[in-house]
Structure 1
Amino acid sequence: MKPKVLSGISVLIVTLLIVGAIFVPAVSADEINPGAIDGTGDDGGTPEVGVEWSTAGGLDNSDDSAGGFYNTLGDAGWTRKFNKGDANALESHFEYFNNGDRNYIDGVDIAFFNGHGSDQHISLGPGKDVFFSSEIEWGDYDLEWIGLHSCHSTAEPGNFKGSHYGLNGVHLICGFETESLNYAEDGPSFAERLLDGENVPIAWYHAMDETHPSDKVVQMVAEDNSV
């Protein structure tokens, strides 16, 4: 099936039509309500979050953005699974080989990456690249949603249906068609909007719209209408 593309300002309209009922649950420290989360992994009834980031190449705010996303959800009652950055951010955390991703990216309900990238890959640092078309199979274990805060990360949706299916159960991959900018506020703003009840694509759109100028375009990739 050809991936569905939701991009730019049209996101606000298209997602309301096809995925208006899909929400990340609003949870607090007193009440855990997984709601729509239904991954096949070991949730134990509690939604889980994990983040990875790279400050290489002058992206000094990546750790604050990813960490802010992680802690905002964690403080609201989500299970914090991992926060790995720079030297501790590894390709094996994202890749399907030997099911290594099941302990990291594909072992949580929502994941967030902040760092450099392109329409072919994300970069965890010098010499550490994860290629979309051949090295990932996200969602076959647990992952429901992922935000790729890097340049052009979702500009070529077909790359997520290469020799290995990056879209392998994950509902939605949020990213950028254009270049992205490195703001510390983006991660926590995305999380806060999810907790306020916005669905995933709307929350991504609004959070990035707060900081990015009009020539920067977000794009979301979904395999079908169940995003």
Structure 2
Amino acid sequence: MKDSLPIYRLEPQDTSVKRLAMLGRQIFGLHDEFRLSETRDGKVLRNAHHLVEIANASGAVWAADESQMWRPSVSAELPGDDDALSIAKDFLHREGLLPALKAPFSYGKPVIGGTHFALRKDGKRQNRRLDVQVVYPVMVDKIPVVGGGSDLTVTLGHKGSVIGFSGGWRTVVAEFDAKMIAPDKVKEQFHGLMSQMKIESFDMSLAYYAAPSFTAQEFLYPVYVCRATAVFGKQRVPLRQVMLAATDFGPPLTFGEPQAKRPKSAKPATVSKEKAKTEAAGKLRRSFAAATVTRPWEAGTSWIGQSGGLAGSQANAQGFVDEWAAAGWHIDFNWGDANAWESDWRRNDDTWVDNADFVFYTGHANMNGWVLSKPDDGFLDFAEIGAGPQTPGDLWGQSDLEWATIAACGPLQDDLLASGGGDVLARWDGAFDGMHILMGYGAITFDNTDEGRKLAQYAKGGSTIIDSWFRTAREIQPATNGAAAPDGPNVWVGAMWVGKDGVDPVNDHAWDYGSVANDPTSPTWLAAMWTTC
């Protein structure tokens, strides 16, 4: 075993407006017909449906033709995988968009992915591919780079046209060595973190961590990626992958302060008389024009952090509720670890989960459900929420819930993505008793601190709920996870929704930030969409 591993000092790419304008020309052929603006994290160029953004922290790029990317209404004639590789390679080299890497850095084998759409109507399911994606991962010698901050992705639409480009590479400016930590010590550390769970299997491998493009990063450093499966009752659950320091350079793993014990009598505060009147009248459709200064919208979060060995979950959940609180929303709940009761999602959902408009969970999950805490058995199984949409139903959306996000290792696996994933439309249809969209992953993912914050930020910026979630996942998770089917090897982010004639939540925006569909009660069809991270 080596005694040391190299650490690399980094600098961001050019983040100037001049480079942004040049990227608009290179990617979409835009010239002077655009407008410039700034967000909290970057500089933005927009021309009608074309968006190009540079991240201030890294110089990485996000570019999308928003009329084409992640749009089930678009019918595209797509290139095959081999042609897509050739088109993407020619595009990157012609436009000079593939950063030149010097040894020991190189590009790994491209990953072919894309966006898939599934629709079930009248008892029949149809699957359709919406785009093709070519992802270029980065390697350090033979060690992969993970973390979402290095992959370059080209998205191809109708007849091979470029409809998306994302990624970047921070420039390496210096190198030094750090003493390597022995694998047996890391294994001992991992099992200490997971001591509250029944671990069934474990393995780990080396990687380098590249932070998401919107995050400042001074050093590229090695980590051990730790993978494990735990048993919760009758469920085998693949855990979110945890990264532990591979050298004494660090960084150390830190957890937030534990929450005080939750009072049994706790209930969310009443937010406004206007909301009560709205719900009493059947929760009429609300729109940006109808919003008032009281903003009677609500958010909440449940999370498994220290009890599940996840150092990122608490900050991940806090970022979500902080963003909505800053927008004037009421925060109904923020329950973590032993306070994140399963009963909030089922027996007492009218008081908690279904009392909020937007709910975010982060922790551990599989395709069948996600881990919560007692009372009850501590695992919310799809079989516990009903066999299908009911009218009137008694779970999610019957009262108030529009959107739920499960930031974990599921629950949207499907045979369309990998063998053994089952049929997500049959498995989770019982969740929709008026709820609009269920979002999550269809593969094993990495623990992190940023999903909740970025999801809310993009939604507050005017993107649709699904676009906000898909972009968040693309920027944070790597394209592959090293796992076998049905939980890998590609990392899929997904969304499932239901509708009927005249009601389709696919283009829902957050309240106050765009249009929202009527509640899809008595739905006549179910749909799902996934894209590779």
Into which bin does the TM-score normalised by the smaller protein fall?
Answer: 0.7 to 0.9
Moved more, 133-142 or 104-113: 133-142
1:221 maps to which of 496, 502, 510 = 496
User: For residues 101-116 of structure 1, what are the structure 2 equivalents within 5 Å?
Assistant: 101-116=349-364
Q: Deviations over 1:12-47 (max 9, x none)?
A: 422576xxxxxxxxxxxxxxxxxxxx8756x98511
What residue number does 1:210 align with?
Answer: 475
The separation in 2 between residues aligned to 1:157 and 1:149, in whole angstroms, is: 19
**Aligned CA distance change for structure 1 residues 67 and 16 (closer, same or farther; 3 Å):** farther
Is the CA contact (8 Å cut-off) linking 2:70 and 2:467 kept in structure 1?
no
What residue number does 2:324 align with?
Answer: 73
The separation in 2 between residues aligned to 1:102 and 1:125, in whole angstroms, is: 18
What residue number does 1:90 align with?
Answer: 341
What residue number does 2:396 align with?
Answer: 138
CA offset at residue 214 of structure 1? Answer: 1.4
Q: Deviations over 1:71-121 (max 9, x none)?
A: 1110121111110011111011001x3xx1011110010000001011101
What residue number does 1:119 align with?
Answer: 367
Q: Deviations over 1:134-174 (max 9, x none)?
A: 2363111100001011112122332213xxx2111110001
What residue number does 2:410 align with?
Answer: 152
What residue number does 2:70 align with?
Answer: 13
Letter in 2 for 1:51: T
Letter in 2 for 1:184: T
Q: Deviations over 1:175-201 (max 9, x none)?
A: 001112111011101111111111100
The separation in 2 between residues aligned to 1:16 and 1:77, in whole angstroms, is: 33
Secondary structure of the residue aligned to 1:188 is helix
The separation in 2 between residues aligned to 1:218 and 1:107, in whole angstroms, is: 26
What residue number does 1:24 align with?
Answer: none
Is the CA contact (8 Å cut-off) linking 1:133 and 1:166 kept in structure 2?
no
The separation in 2 between residues aligned to 1:125 and 1:135, in whole angstroms, is: 17
The separation in 2 between residues aligned to 1:145 and 1:213, in whole angstroms, is: 25
**Aligned CA distance change for structure 1 residues 15 and 143 (closer, same or farther; 3 Å):** farther
Letter in 2 for 1:106: D
Determine which structure has more spread, i.e. the larger CA radius of gyration.
2
Letter in 2 for 1:159: R
More helix by share: 1
2:460 maps to which of 175, 181, 195 = 195
Secondary structure of the residue aligned to 1:173 is strand
Is the CA contact (8 Å cut-off) linking 1:15 and 1:201 kept in structure 2?
no
Letter in 2 for 1:160: W
Letter in 2 for 1:150: A
Secondary structure of the residue aligned to 1:73 is helix
Letter in 2 for 1:172: I
Is the CA contact (8 Å cut-off) linking 1:111 and 1:147 kept in structure 2?
yes
1:62 aligns with 2:320: no
What residue number does 2:378 align with?
Answer: 128
Secondary structure of the residue aligned to 1:77 is coil
What residue number does 1:3 align with?
Answer: none
TM-score, normalised relative to structure 1: 0.77
Higher RCO (CA 8 Å, separation ≥ 6 residues): 1
The separation in 1 between residues aligned to 2:436 and 2:460, in whole angstroms, is: 18
**Aligned CA distance change for structure 1 residues 16 and 186 (closer, same or farther; 3 Å):** farther
Secondary structure of the residue aligned to 1:87 is helix
Is the CA contact (8 Å cut-off) linking 1:107 and 1:142 kept in structure 2?
yes
Is the CA contact (8 Å cut-off) linking 1:153 and 1:176 kept in structure 2?
yes
**Aligned CA distance change for structure 1 residues 46 and 153 (closer, same or farther; 3 Å):** same
CA RMSD of aligned residues (A): 2.4
Secondary structure of the residue aligned to 2:431 is coil
Corresponding pairs, count: 191
TM-score, normalised relative to structure 2: 0.34
What residue number does 1:50 align with?
Answer: 300
